[in-house]
Amino acid sequence: MIDQSTVERIIDASDIVEVVQEFVSLKRRGVNYLGNCPFHNEKTPSFTVSPSKQIYKCFGCGKGGGPVNFIMEHEHLSYIESLKYLAKKFHIEIVEDEETPEMAAQRNQRESLMIVSSWAAEYFASYLMNENEGRNVGLSYFRERGFRDDTIKKFQLGYCPDQKDLFTRMAQKQGYKMEFLEATGLSIKRDDWVRDRFAGRVIFPFHNLAGRVIAFGGRVMKTDPNTAKYLNSPESEIYHKSKVVYGIYHAKSAITKFDKCYLVEGYTDVLSMHQSGIENVVASSGTSLTTDQIRLIKRFTPNITIIYDGDQAGIKASLRGIDMVLSEGINVKVVPLPAGEDPDSFARSMNASSLLEYIAANETDFIRFKTTLLLSETQNDPIARAKLITDIVKSISVIPDNITRSVYIRECSKMLEVDENILYAEVNKIKHKDDEAFVENEKRQAARAQMNPQPAATLPEKKKKNPCDIEEKALLRILLRFHKEVIFTVESDDEGGEVPVTVAEYILSELERDNLTSSDPLVHQIIGEFREHYQEDFFNPERHFVQHENPEICNLVSGLLVDKYIESVIWKRKGSYVEDEHEILYLLVPRLVEEYKLRHVKIMIAGMMKQIGELQSSDDLERIMELQTIIQNLKKVEKELTKKLGKRAITI
């Protein structure tokens, strides 16, 4: 047990920001820090850390607490083990009472597996350095590969003796139970025999984010066609290979510092790059890249550069991983290595500065990489070229961010000399391929076009310009992105409590109160459907309108979600710049509504002035006087709105 005074010292010394930053990439926002929550998958950061209060709080999933609680939640440790973790981190000595058999029996299965794995890593590392077989076979191999002793020690590399069950017997001799040796996969037990899983292999331990060993990878030292060259620990309670990337513990600080992660394929690729001085690198461990692995990296940076072997297998591995990385909203680049090179050999051939210079000069975005690679295969074959374009469009379609997707479409249009509108249409089809309504609508439109072809000489009717186009689109964009966000509270009629007001509630109520409607039928329909659905718990406006059965609404909404013009006109009208509009919705939303009202007032005044001009030659003085009175009242409203908006002129 840990005495209370030591517990208080640990808690006092544990800085919440320093503790959380080991696992989450944080960015300062005012007096607090903000990042992506490590407890649930989110695209918009809602995880807040307060250094003044020494607490963390996620407004998405609701988890919160102090440093000890964070370690308990994140690392699945007990309260006592979390205190030990923090004590070690902040160099506080712990004096405990002797552990009784009853206390030892209370250790849970997970902690027992961690303890066995930790001992095994120490055993393998010691055997590598101190035993003849370890030095002659394992250490010789690592040194032949060019790895220094400090790198070997840093990653806890080791060697498992090439004997049937020596490791298992030594573990049992030290008091470790067979059930835990089996559960971690270190030992394999059958009815009448036991053997060591990694016998005769050099060992690469896997560490979790806290630096604890959770699994192992082993490379065989003998040439045997019937034996797998690399072997990993099986799935266990502490190790899920689809959720782990090799080297993340040693790389996380550098990834956060440089806001970039280099993704390679194998253990030795990571080791060589570290030894060359580049530490923000992890490996997919020879397995196919998974969504969970990408999300783990994304906790520290949204920028990934993929570096795989320069052979065809490595290039294909890069292509397989690209779409998956893009779908998670990652900025992905690719570095093609010279033929015959891999990150391991290439990193050993130069120092860090030269390697970084090569990467900077050769890393390219996925479109250029894919296009350059696949165009060489198409030659002058138009069918093959069409397949290439379709392949790249499929990659673009998985990008979740509309603005990023739009930028890539423009880039693709230039490189492949394909009309931008055609690419938008193809992306839209791919994104709606499972939407039966969309497919049926496409079929109906195609049938109508065949039955009633438009004469070549007929020009489409020119659409009447919407005088409130900018303001209405700005309001729609805010509704689409933030409709459920609370912007402020108002006093309730009941017992003086406060009632939260959301973006949608405020905008829709203000429009209804002043009877403001749009002259654009599409905007009018969107506002009407918003009013009908916004109170539904699972209403997703972006999905609802982007996949709308009316293709014109699809196009309008898609444009709103990617069009920076609207943002620049409204936000920067006075030379201001907003880094995160989410933070100032309480100011921004009322301002947009007032600008919309002012636009309507000016349009009404202009319309009535025109009517007065037309009535000047008539004897209808009563109507002229009536209009002049209305104009005077509107002028008062205009003056008040202009004053609120900072006397900024809006022209019509």
Which residue has better confidence, 597 or 196?
Answer: 196
Domain-embedded: residue 425: no
Please indicate, yes or no, whether residues 532 and 549 belong to a single structural domain of this protein: yes
Please indicate, yes or no, whether residues 220 and 284 belong to a single structural domain of this protein: no
Lowest mean pLDDT among 35-39, 236-240, 253-257: 253-257
Residue 215's pLDDT is: 94
Residue 453's pLDDT is: 54
Look-up: residue for tokens 């010279």? 338
Please indicate, yes or no, whether residues 124 and 70 belong to a single structural domain of this protein: no
Give every CB contact of residue 183 below 8 A, 6+ residues apart in sequence: 109, 113, 236, 237
Query: Of 104, 119, 141, which residue sits at a domain end?
Result: 104
Average pLDDT, the chain: 80
Under the banding of pLDDT at 50, 70 and 90, the label for residue 420 is confident
Residue 323's pLDDT is: 77
Neighbour count for residue 368 (Cβ, 10 Å): 15
Element (H, E) at 64: strand 64-65
Please indicate, yes or no, whether residues 181 and 197 belong to a single structural domain of this protein: yes
Three-state SS letters, 513-530: HCCCCCCCHHHHHHHHHH
Which residue has better confidence, 154 or 491?
Answer: 154
Residue 61's pLDDT is: 77
Domain-embedded: residue 381: no
Domain-embedded: residue 376: no
Residue 494's pLDDT is: 59
Query: Of 49, 81, 104, which residue sits at a domain end?
Result: 104
Burial of residue 141, with CB atoms counted within 10 A of its CB: 0-12 exposed, 13-18 middle, 19 or more buried:
middle
| Cα distance between residue 289 and residue 318, in whole Å | 10
Under the banding of pLDDT at 50, 70 and 90, the label for residue 160 is very high
Domain-embedded: residue 430: no
| Cα distance between residue 165 and residue 196, in whole Å | 5
Residue 537 in this model has a pLDDT that exceeds 60: yes
Which residue has better confidence, 268 or 30?
Answer: 268
CA 293 distance to own-chain centroid: 11
Q: What are phi and psi of 216, to 5 degrees?
A: -140, 150
Please indicate, yes or no, whether residues 639 and 507 belong to a single structural domain of this protein: yes
Domain-embedded: residue 426: no
Please indicate, yes or no, whether residues 133 and 233 belong to a single structural domain of this protein: yes
Please indicate, yes or no, whether residues 142 and 276 belong to a single structural domain of this protein: no
Please indicate, yes or no, whether residues 356 and 286 belong to a single structural domain of this protein: yes
Please indicate, yes or no, whether residues 204 and 310 belong to a single structural domain of this protein: no
Under the banding of pLDDT at 50, 70 and 90, the label for residue 342 is confident
- The pLDDT > 90 percentage for the chain reads 19
- Token pair for residue 408? 């890539």
- Token pair for residue 628? 């002049």
Residue 572 in this model has a pLDDT that exceeds 50: no
Please indicate, yes or no, whether residues 232 and 268 belong to a single structural domain of this protein: no
Please indicate, yes or no, whether residues 161 and 67 belong to a single structural domain of this protein: no
Predicted model pTM: 0.56
Residue 452's pLDDT is: 56
Neighbour count for residue 383 (Cβ, 10 Å): 8
- The pLDDT > 70 percentage for the chain reads 80
Burial of residue 385, with CB atoms counted within 10 A of its CB: 0-12 exposed, 13-18 middle, 19 or more buried:
middle
Instruction: Note down the domain range covering 630.
Output: 469-644
Which strands sit side by side in the sheet containing 55-58, from one edge to the other? 27-29, 32-35, 47-50, 55-58, 64-65
| Count of domains observed in the chain | 4
User: No. of H helices and E strands in the chain?
Assistant: 30, 18
| Cα distance between residue 213 and residue 307, in whole Å | 26
Q: Which of 304, 134, 157 is nearest to 216 (CA)?
A: 157
Residue 629's pLDDT is: 87
Residue 187's pLDDT is: 95
Under the banding of pLDDT at 50, 70 and 90, the label for residue 448 is low
Element (H, E) at 342: none
- Residues 261-287: tens digit of each pLDDT: 999 888 999 999 999 999 999 998 756
Domain-embedded: residue 393: no
Domain-embedded: residue 403: no
State the CATH number of the domain containing residue 281.
Answer: 3.40.1360.10
Domain-embedded: residue 334: yes
DSSP 310: S
Lowest mean pLDDT among 3-7, 381-385, 555-559, 642-646: 555-559
Q: Which of 496, 506, 489 is nearest to 589 (CA)?
A: 506
Mean pLDDT along residues 333-346: 84
Residue 563's pLDDT is: 41
- Token pair for residue 19? 């503790």
Please indicate, yes or no, whether residues 232 and 161 belong to a single structural domain of this protein: yes
Lowest mean pLDDT among 146-160, 270-284, 507-521: 507-521
Lowest mean pLDDT among 162-176, 255-269, 480-494: 480-494
Write the single-letter amino acid at 81.
E
Neighbour count for residue 367 (Cβ, 10 Å): 20
Residue 161's pLDDT is: 96
- Residues 176-190: tens digit of each pLDDT: 999 999 999 999 998
- Residues 227-243: tens digit of each pLDDT: 888 899 999 988 988 88
Q: Which of 558, 326, 564, 560 is nearest to 427 (CA)?
A: 558
State the CATH number of the domain containing residue 25.
Answer: 3.90.580.10
Neighbour count for residue 197 (Cβ, 10 Å): 21
- Token pair for residue 610? 């025109």
| Cα distance between residue 588 and residue 488, in whole Å | 12
Query: Of 324, 341, 362, which residue sits at a domain end?
Result: 362
Q: Which of 321, 353, 320, 313 is nearest to 337 (CA)?
A: 313
